[in-house]
Amino acid sequence: MEEIQVRSAILEKIAKSEKMTATEFISYRETILDQIRILQQQGWDEAALVVYINHLNEHKERDREEAKKHFQRAFLVGSTIYTQMFVKSQLLDREKTMLVINHLGGELDENGDLYFGPSEYQFCPQMPPGSFFLASYSEAVQRAYPNGLIIAKADKKRTKTAIKQKYVAETKIHQFRNHLDKANIDYVENYKKSYGLKNDEVAIKMILRNNWFYADPQYHNRARLVGDILTEDLCEGTGTLSVKGLVKKIRNRGFYRKILSGDYHSEFILDEQGQLLTQWKTSNESSDYFESAIVNGESFNYGNRPREDPHQTHHKLDGNPPRYFDTHKRNELKKIWRSPTDNWFYQLVRRLSEKGLRYKKRRRVKE
């Protein structure tokens, strides 16, 4: 839509407060029009801009300073106003999903890894796991990619980096999950500190209230080859952990549990002390947890819970894409970190861990 058309359409929708003088309203209106021009330049369509104006009109105390505060909130991804604009926008779903990443300064480096450059936008600090924005964004991804994040058969022979360089949008969408994870982890950490809670698990369950459940953490309990386990601890043919290999892993590192929000999107991996296993906790950056945190840590889900989803969105959008679009570091680590075999013993270990059983061998304190 041309800028002059937007100006004309928006002029009609800007409401005047009863307390405003005519002069004050002219100044207020010019402030709003300046904001609209900026928002339009940053990719928002008319439908989203109308939402922004209506949001301003809902507040009785309308003045230039209040308008500036609302404008600042429009740069917080996941805020009420940003979410409303995203939901009501009539952009194509592929455009909408990419718009958010662009707002945050998302670019790929030479390895095909997503990073955020300088940007006026940031995630809203008040956006909790299980929020409406996270669900809305996931639904938009589902609509944008009904067949999943796929590549042409001929391209499967390419290197991982070459694939990511060719499929830029798919790579950004996939790796954006990591940054949604970080937003969730930051929220949990701040919540835990604010309320003085003993661990992350308590914080997560308080945030999600009763809207959470345990899920299968098979791919979040990998063990390091020639570290935790040896080649003789792998099952022949599959390369997954044997019973002996799993025992070694859980005695050394413990068994990690997975908690999901009720909508299946927000995911958390917890160690046996109830602390998050995640690459985004600064306390893990220099510890031996870090590699494990990259391969075993949380993974935001765009798809829905498989048992309730005939369209298999979880497999198409979360399960299959890591083969092609994971970060360079994770691709390298997955070669030497092996997941457990899904058998009766693994499932027994899993269920008992959810009941509170802990497996990690306690270190004896030297006297």
Amino acid of residue 138: S
**Band of pLDDT at residue 366, cut at 50, 70 and 90:** low
Q: Are 277 and 292 in contact (CB under 8 A)?
A: yes
Segment among 52-61, 84-93, 250-259, 280-289 with least mean pLDDT: 280-289
**Mean pLDDT value across the chain:** 93
Residue 54 β-bridge partners: none
Per-residue pLDDT reduced to its tens digit, 44-83 = 999 999 999 998 888 755 667 777 888 999 999 999 999 9
Helices (H), 209-360: 243-253, 289-296, 313-314, 322-325, 328-333, 344-354
Cβ atoms of 181 and 280 within 8 Å: the answer is: yes
pLDDT confidence of residue 4: 52
pLDDT at 324 over 80: yes
Average pLDDT over residues 110-115: 97
Taking the C-alpha atoms of residue 332 and residue 225, their distance in angstroms, rounded to an integer, is 13
Segment among 6-20, 67-81, 190-204, 344-358 with least mean pLDDT: 6-20
Helical H runs in the chain? 3-13, 22-41, 46-57, 64-73, 80-88, 93-103, 132-144, 160-166, 168-195, 200-208, 243-253, 289-296, 313-314, 322-325, 328-333, 344-354
Q: What is the pLDDT of residue 65?
A: 78
With a cut of 90, say whether residue 238 has pLDDT above it: yes
With contact defined as beta carbons under 8 Å apart, do 242 and 233 qualify?
yes
- What is the model's pTM? 0.93
